[in-house]
């Protein structure tokens, strides 16, 4: 086991030194061996791995010094190690839930326009309480966390990196309009349709609402609600209603019929 850890530690240190050396040469154009992002990723992974192995080797020394200050081993585990693990595990579970939930509910399935800060806070508190109870009442969970603390730290760091990239991606998605609901999936001349959604743009920067290439007349426009009225169409057809904001970004399409008024009597 120790031999394997020494091998990983030596490899991580080698990659760390190599990446540190390659990055400035890559940045100045002296070499072009790997993309810069690859070097940065190798640097980050090796740094985390090397740091964890160093901490692991230093734990016994840290433990001895804390005992010299009057702390018992049980006190160290109860008031230092255990709270830290519970906090890390809570954040890991929270991130594993909130990242896919926010994306699926607000961007994929279009059930919620957003998950508010208060809702995220309540979710974190619920997760924290659950993880606390599991660790407090089930010693197997507690021991498992202490034995695999290295894995817990690695997962936490990976999720922090993933969450950072996800937030950038999610922020870019907020430039795209989204249609959540329309008051009717058909219209005739003069009929008004209410469109509800998000990211439509402010009232002073109105976009367009079209059914295929046929443009609807804007009656009212806001960030999350648009009212349009159908003008005279060149033809009657079934198409896709789309909102285009002032940036030129298009929303999801919703099936919509430009109906012949004569069909209403049939």
For residue 233 the two structure tokens come to 């169409």
* Alpha-carbon span 105 to 224, nearest angstrom: 17
In CATH, what class is 178-265?
mainly beta
* Alpha-carbon span 109 to 115, nearest angstrom: 13
Say whether pLDDT at 244 is over 60: yes
Q: Nearest to residue 147, comparing CAs of 56, 37, 62, 212? A: 56
Average pLDDT over every residue of 186-209: 95
What pLDDT is attached to residue 54? 66
Q: Is 110 left (phi over 0), alpha (psi -120 to 50) or beta?
A: left
Work out the percent of the chain whose per-residue pLDDT is above 90. Answer: 51
What pLDDT is attached to residue 76? 47
Domain-by-domain residue ranges, the chain?
Answer: 1-70, 71-174, 178-265
Encode pLDDT of 120-144 as tens digits. 999 999 999 999 999 888 888 878 8
Average pLDDT over every residue of 164-169: 93
């Amino acid at each position: 086991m120790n031999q394997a850890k020494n091998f990983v530690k030596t490899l991580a240190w080698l990659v760390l030194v190599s990446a540190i050396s390659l990055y400035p040469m890559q940045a100045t154009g002296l070499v072009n061996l790997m993309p810069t992002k690859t070097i940065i990723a190798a640097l980050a992974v090796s740094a985390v791995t090397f740091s964890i192995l160093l901490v692991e080797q230093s734990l016994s020394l840290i433990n001895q010094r804390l005992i010299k200050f009057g702390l018992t081993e049980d006190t160290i585990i109860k008031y230092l190690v255990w709270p830290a693990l519970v906090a890390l595990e809570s954040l890991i579970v929270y991130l594993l839930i909130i990242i896919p939930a926010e994306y699926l509910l607000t961007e994929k399935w279009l059930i919620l326009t957003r998950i508010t800060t208060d809702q995220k806070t309540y979710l974190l508190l619920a997760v924290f309480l659950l993880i606390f109870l599991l660790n407090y009442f089930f010693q197997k969970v507690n021991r498992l966390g202490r034995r695999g603390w290295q894995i817990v730290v690695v997962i936490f760091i990976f999720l922090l990196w993933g969450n950072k990239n996800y937030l950038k991606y999610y922020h870019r998605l907020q430039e795209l309009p989204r249609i959540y609901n329309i008051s009717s999936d058909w219209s005739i001349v003069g009929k008004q349709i209410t469109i509800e959604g998000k990211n439509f743009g402010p009232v002073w920067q109105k976009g367009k609402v079209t059914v295929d290439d046929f443009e609807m007349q804007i009656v009212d426009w806001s960030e999350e609600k648009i009212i349009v009225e159908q003008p005279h169409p060149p033809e009657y057809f079934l198409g896709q209603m789309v909102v285009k904001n002032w940036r030129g970004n298009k929303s999801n399409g919703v099936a919509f019929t430009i109906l012949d008024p004569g069909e209403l009597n049939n």
